[in-house]
A = this chain, B = another copy of it.
Amino acid sequence: MSERNIPYKIYLEENEMPKAWYNLRADMKNKPAPLLNPGTLKPMTADELRPVFCDELIKQELDDTTAFFEIPEEIRNFYKMYRPSPLVRAYCLEEKLQTPAKIYYKFEGNNTSGSHKLNSAIAQAYYAKKQGLKGVTTETGAGQWGTALSMACSYFDLDCKVYMVKVSYEQKPFRREVMRTYGASVTPSPSAETEVGKRILEKHPGTTGSLGCAISEAVEKATTTEGYRYVLGSVLNQVLLHQSVIGLEAKAALDKYDIKADIIIGCAGGGSNLGGLIAPFMGEKLRGENDYRIIAVEPASCPSFTRGKYAYDFCDTGMVCPLAKMYTLGSDFIPAPNHAGGLRYHGMSSTLSQLYDDGLMEAVSVQQTDVFKAAEYFARVEGILPAPESSHAIRVAIDEALKCKETGEEKTIVFGLTGTGYFDMVAYQKFHDGEMENYIPSDAEIAESLSKLPVVE
């Protein structure tokens, strides 16, 4: 086995935990394109965003020059309940693969939401409470964001209304009960509770839903209910800002042991985990201080980066949200019901899209069954049963480690293990029973949904 002066798990001390979030945009030469008002096609102003988002979060959303935002003490105290998350040296995986690569993963699953989503949920709930709001609405795919927000709202005594993508609602019956334990209300989306939901149901009666649909419903509900705002678990700049705590901790843990990463790998749905994990590494790369290979991994069934177009598009299916410039498959694209509900989003964070377009990061797509093979392998070797979403990163980390085995290179690989799969056992069961399918959208299907992109001069 490899050298043993590096512990299996690197934990920061409480006083080593980040006291500020890092805003990657401040170091980008090519800033992410602004959100546009779909009516005027002009950049959205703070005033225009105010009916949808909390005031303080709007500031964070629009600020692309301030490098650091102090983390309020209330949030840092909450972080201390479940953070720092460990940076784990995958000694057992390395040995099993017989690779000279050194593999680390930042494990965000050791909290009841089961994922990194809590990092931003608590921040958004805090600012909503501070503004004196009654409650918030949101959508959830795999259910992890909804659970995280339920926990955060319960902590600050806020109402929480969750629209859950129907396929996840059905595949993960117990997620609803966890959210209920934290006092949230959960509705399968699309629903007849909103106008936009009704329209979508009429157009696609048998739909299993998508993050795009659920966002539309949650936004409508927030903007039509007194004292409510909408909050979102991914895609937005503010979310990437909060999630930078993942990368900052990971970087601090590596620095503590003088470890230089070569490759950083994360799964990418809307970009919350990936954007957070890579933030300080990408910052060094942007400032020319260090170089890293940074790899986004997405499902072949929903390949925004690898087969999408970099263009302005709606963030939601119902087209009630501002336009964002991003790698997109078209807001009309409804991905096949694969088991990584958290990655079934037609678009991608504007920040990550710009970085990808500038050639600062790579992207690969992987097949569902290959992902579950990696998931089960990892569970047996490293003991942690991973979420399907996280397993996309595991798949590529293993692939890269095997390449090192061929070339003999001792690369240091860091990947994001965003969460646990305890609520994904239906998917694992299908995999065990050989009933899992791979879905790849046809070129025609993607071209069709891309043909409906809004026209922005």
- Known A-B contacts A8-B81, A81-B383, A112-B379; A181 and B14 likewise in contact (beta carbons under 8 Å): no
| Size of A's binding interface in residues, CB under 8 A | 43
A111 at the interface (CB under 8 A from B): yes
Q: Can you name 8 extra interface pairs (CB under 8 A) apart from A112-B385, A114-B422, A174-B422?
A: A112-B420, A151-B383, A155-B380, A177-B425, A178-B428, A180-B428, A180-B429, A181-B379
Q: Which residue of B lies closest to A380 (CB)?
A: B154
A199 at the interface (CB under 8 A from B): no
Chain A interface, DSSP helix/strand/loop, else mixed: helix
- Known A-B contacts A80-B8, A155-B380; A180 and B112 likewise in contact (beta carbons under 8 Å): no
Q: Contact between A181 and B80 (Cβ–Cβ < 8 Å)?
A: no
Q: Which residue of B lies closest to A80 (CB)?
A: B8
Contact among B174, B376, B420 for A181, CB-based, below 8 A: B376
Within 8 A of B (CB), among A146-182: 151, 154-155, 173-174, 177-178, 180-182
Q: Contact between A182 and B425 (Cβ–Cβ < 8 Å)?
A: no
Residues of B within 8 A of A178 (CB): 385, 422, 425, 428
CB distance from A326 to the nearest CB of B (A): 33
CB distance from A257 to the nearest CB of B (A): 12
A92 at the interface (CB under 8 A from B): yes
Residues of B within 8 A of A183 (CB): 380
A198 at the interface (CB under 8 A from B): no
Most B CB within 10 A of own CB, among A82, A174, A426: A174
Measured between alpha carbons, how far is A14 from B155 in the docked complex, in Å? Answer: 33
Measured between alpha carbons, how far is A258 from B342 in the docked complex, in Å? Answer: 45
A-B contact list, 27 entries, CB within 8 Å: A7-B13, A7-B80, A8-B14, A8-B80, A9-B80, A11-B11, A81-B92, A81-B383, A82-B383, A111-B383, A112-B385, A114-B422, A154-B380, A155-B380, A174-B174, A174-B426, A177-B425, A177-B429, A178-B385, A178-B425, A180-B429, A181-B379, A181-B385, A181-B428, A182-B380, A183-B380, A422-B422
A423 at the interface (CB under 8 A from B): yes
A110 at the interface (CB under 8 A from B): yes
Measured between alpha carbons, how far is A432 from B382 in the docked complex, in Å? Answer: 35
Measured between alpha carbons, how far is A382 from B8 in the docked complex, in Å? Answer: 26
CB distance from A358 to the nearest CB of B (A): 38
CB distance from A427 to the nearest CB of B (A): 9
Within 8 A of B (CB), among A1-22: 7-9, 11, 13-14
CB distance from A84 to the nearest CB of B (A): 9
Q: Contact between A422 and B423 (Cβ–Cβ < 8 Å)?
A: yes
CB distance from A116 to the nearest CB of B (A): 14
A396-407 Cβ-contact flags toward B at 8 Å (1 or 0): 000000000000
Measured between alpha carbons, how far is A385 from B151 in the docked complex, in Å? Answer: 10
A286 at the interface (CB under 8 A from B): no
